[in-house]
Amino acid sequence: MTLSRRFTAEFVGTAFLLAAVVGSGIMGDRLSGGNVAIALLANSIATGAALVALILTFGPISGAHFNPAVTLADAALGGTTWQAVPAYLVAQLAGAVLGVFSAHLMFGLEFVQVSQHARTGGAQVFSEFVAAFGLLSVIWGCVRKRPDAVPWAVGLYITGAYWFTASTSFANPAVTMARALTDTFAGIRPADVPAFVAAQLVGAGAATAFFRWLFPTLQRSAADVVVPHERAS
């Protein structure tokens, strides 16, 4: 699997993920008559469902990270090579932005927007730490014994975490940055992005260190299982 194919898979997959997050937020918001719980229920179910499908679809090509925190953690465990990391991060960020623009186009909104949705304060930031810690825990916990379950576990975790974290679980730096570019239900004020991203990276790093201790053989597993195509790149 060449790097250009993997780059493209990350790019298109992340674009679809953001279209799903932002688009379902717009649709839920428009139709729910002001009941935010119904909008969030639609948003969380649609995102989780799309995420399972997208990971199943693009996983065999790029590993379906769609998330800089996952790519960095995977590289730290010897999975993704460090040479491939910049391409992954660029693909994820560019794809995320394209996804937001596509959602705007599908719903007849202005292409470029800036969010005014404040998501700030210690409770929100701690929520993002928990959200990312949980996401990476789910990935590393499933990879060793049941790699086939990863797409399902990740999708279900995200659907749940939308509700049990106060921040609705962004848990993904590329997603967070791109959501600053939409002034709709799923948006986040640009000023609030850095703290979210920092908390996500700390949470992802903590979970990765934790699972290296829990599973002493995790490092080799990651390289073999998550990105089996890596060797050929």
For the segment 50-89, give every residue that binds a second copy (CB under 8 A): 50, 52-54, 56-61
Instruction: Please state, in angstroms and rounded to a whole number, the distance separating the CA atoms of residues 220 and 5.
Output: 24
Nearest residue (CB) to a second copy, 42 versus 204: 42
- Per CB under 8 A, the segment of 33-41, 73-81, 193-201, 217-225 that binds a second copy is 33-41
Instruction: Please state, in angstroms and rounded to a whole number, the distance separating the CA atoms of residues 43 and 40.
Output: 5
Rule CB under 8 A: say whether 155 interacts with a second copy: yes
Nearest residue (CB) to a second copy, 183 versus 210: 210
Rule CB under 8 A: say whether 117 interacts with a second copy: no
Nearest residue (CB) to a second copy, 87 versus 142: 142
* Residue whose token pair is 């799923």: 186
**How many chain residues interact with a second copy (CB under 8 A)?**
85
* Residue 22: exposure state from Cβ atoms within 10 A (0-12, 13-18, ≥19): buried
Nearest residue (CB) to a second copy, 49 versus 76: 49
* Residue 110: exposure state from Cβ atoms within 10 A (0-12, 13-18, ≥19): exposed
